[in-house]
């Protein structure tokens, strides 16, 4: 036999349950474990949006799934966490911590045998869209694909070098070291660009020629050069750095004649070393460390390259038009095209 107090207590709990649920429904709230259960409640448009993840390795991109590569996170929590972190006031600090966590989970799950994918240099998130067609016949071929997220962490060896470069601890041999790149590549020392308006050549022992270019922040400032580039497509890499005093910034690089430069983003400029590279250390970047590189489509005629300030001030050392390097370089040294006989021999 149930006593009246027990009935009263239970009735109170039932009312609490009903009240909590009704409250969330009326005010469209989510107070877990109460909910207004809004899933699938919006009228669905004829456009499907899916967010894909891609890992970046030295060999290029490969598909990632959060629940396999970053468990216990799943895809939704992975995206939501990164978005919320990006919006947080201390987003910069949190972003670094998030990136460190992601790489740690990736390695831990690889060590546990959950996956056997290659060393991870970065993660990219793409928004993939389809216009829905009858029979979903186009599901294998998205109508639009746009990068909306990228994170990058230099490999350990490079991180070590960058840290030493940032504190001026590089040895002379490290400073003088050059990476040979294919002879078809084009390398321009920024110090040799003609300074048209506002800027200076700064002495810098870590720069390829001993001098680096620093443009004024005035929008009319720019430096130019004309170069011969064989017809073809090149990835555009900039060797630059943010100043040791923490100045941040990006450059704009445009082909005034003879070519067209395309970037995945028209707003962030090029460089953006501060996203992943310590201030004061020269490193390679295209639009930003870890982001897909900007490409230059050369027609075969002489190309006029113009460099102008985008945001803040940075030091530019080299511009490298790479015929083969389509992903973030795993080194920070200056580059020089291989002499013809060396390139022949390497084939």
Partner 1 sequence: MSAAARAWDRFWFTPQSATDLAICRVLFFGGLLYQRWWIDSGPWTELDEAFWFPLRIFQILHLPLLSASILGALDQIWLLALAASCVGLLTRVSTATAFVVGAYLIAIPHNFGKTYHSDAVIVFMLGALALSRCGDKWSVDAWVRQRGRSVEPPPSGEYRWPIRVAWLLWVLLYAAAGISKIRNGGLDWVFSDSFRNILLAHHYTHTPLVGWGIVLAEYPWVCTLLAGGTIFIETLTPMALFSRYARWIVIPSLGLMQVGIGLLLGVRFDAYLLVFLFWIPWGQIGQRLAPWPESERPPRPVSTPA
Cα-Cα-Cα-Cα dihedral of 114, 120, 123, 124, to 10°? -100
Omega of the bond prior to 72 within 30 degrees of 0, cis?
yes
CB of 52 or CB of 297, closer to partner 1: 52
Interface stretch with partner 1, choices 92-100, 206-214, 249-257, 260-268 (CB under 8 A): 92-100
Q: Residue 76 to residues 28, 52, 140, 347: CA-CA distances in angstroms? A: 21, 11, 22, 46
Tokens of 147: 């990068």
Alpha-carbon distance of 147 to 51, in angstroms, equals: 10
97 contributes a contact to partner 1 by CB under 8 A: yes
105 contributes a contact to partner 1 by CB under 8 A: yes
Alpha-carbon distance of 283 to 276, in angstroms, equals: 10
Least distance (Å) from partner 1 to the CB of residue 104?
7
The answer to whether residues 212 and 190 touch, using CB atoms and an 8 Å cutoff, is yes
194 contributes a contact to partner 1 by CB under 8 A: no
77 contributes a contact to partner 1 by CB under 8 A: yes
Q: Among residues 95, 134, 102, which one has the least CA distance to residue 120?
A: 102
Least distance (Å) from partner 1 to the CB of residue 120?
16
Subset of residues 130 to 169 that bind partner 1, contact rule: CB under 8 A: 130, 132, 134-136, 139
Interface stretch with partner 1, choices 13-21, 176-184, 220-228, 249-257 (CB under 8 A): 13-21
Least distance (Å) from partner 1 to the CB of residue 279?
22
Q: Among residues 159, 169, 107, 201, which one has the least CA distance to residue 332?
A: 159
72 contributes a contact to partner 1 by CB under 8 A: yes
Binding residues vs partner 1 (CB under 8 A): 1-2, 7, 10-11, 13-14, 17-18, 21, 24-25, 28, 30-46, 48, 50, 71-73, 76-78, 80-81, 84-85, 88, 94-95, 97-98, 100-101, 104-105, 108, 130, 132, 134-136, 139
């Amino acid at each position: 036999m149930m006593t009246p107090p027990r009935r009263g207590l239970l009735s109170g709990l039932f009312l609490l349950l009903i009240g909590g649920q009704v409250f969330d429904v009326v005010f469209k709230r989510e107070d877990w474990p109460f909910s207004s259960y809004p899933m699938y409640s919006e009228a669905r448009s004829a456009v499907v949006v899916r967010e894909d993840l891609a890992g970046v390795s030295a060999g290029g991109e490969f598909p990632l799934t959060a629940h396999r590569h970053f468990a216990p996170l799943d895809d939704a929590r992975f995206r939501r966490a990164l978005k919320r972190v990006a919006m947080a006031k201390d987003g910069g600090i949190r972003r670094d911590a998030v990136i460190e966590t992601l790489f740690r989970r990736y390695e831990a799950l690889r060590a546990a045998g959950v996956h056997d994918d290659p060393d991870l240099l970065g993660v990219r998130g793409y928004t993939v869209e389809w216009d829905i067609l009858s029979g979903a016949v186009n599901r294998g071929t998205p109508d639009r694909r746009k990068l909306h997220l990228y994170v990058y962490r230099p490999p350990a060896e490079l991180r070590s070098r960058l840290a030493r470069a940032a504190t001026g601890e590089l040895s002379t041999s490290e400073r003088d070291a050059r990476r040979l790149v294919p002879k078809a590549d084009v390398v321009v020392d920024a110090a040799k660009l003609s300074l048209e308006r506002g800027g200076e050549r700064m002495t810098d022992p870590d720069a390829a020629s001993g001098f680096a270019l620093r443009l004024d922040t005035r929008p009319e400032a720019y430096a130019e050069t004309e170069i011969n580039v064989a017809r073809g497509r090149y990835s555009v890499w900039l060797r630059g750095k943010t100043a040791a005093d923490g100045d941040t910034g990006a450059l704009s690089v445009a082909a005034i004649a003879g070519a067209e430069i395309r970037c995945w983003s028209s707003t962030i400029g090029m460089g953006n070393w501060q996203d992943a590279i310590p201030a004061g250390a020269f490193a390679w970047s295209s639009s930003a460390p870890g982001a897909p590189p900007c490409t230059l489509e050369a027609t075969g005629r002489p190309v006029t390259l113009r460099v102008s300030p985008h945001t803040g001030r940075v030091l530019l050392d080299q511009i490298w038009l790479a015929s083969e390097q389509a992903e973030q370089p795993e080194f920070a040294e200056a580059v020089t095209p291989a002499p013809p006989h060396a390139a022949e021999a390497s084939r």
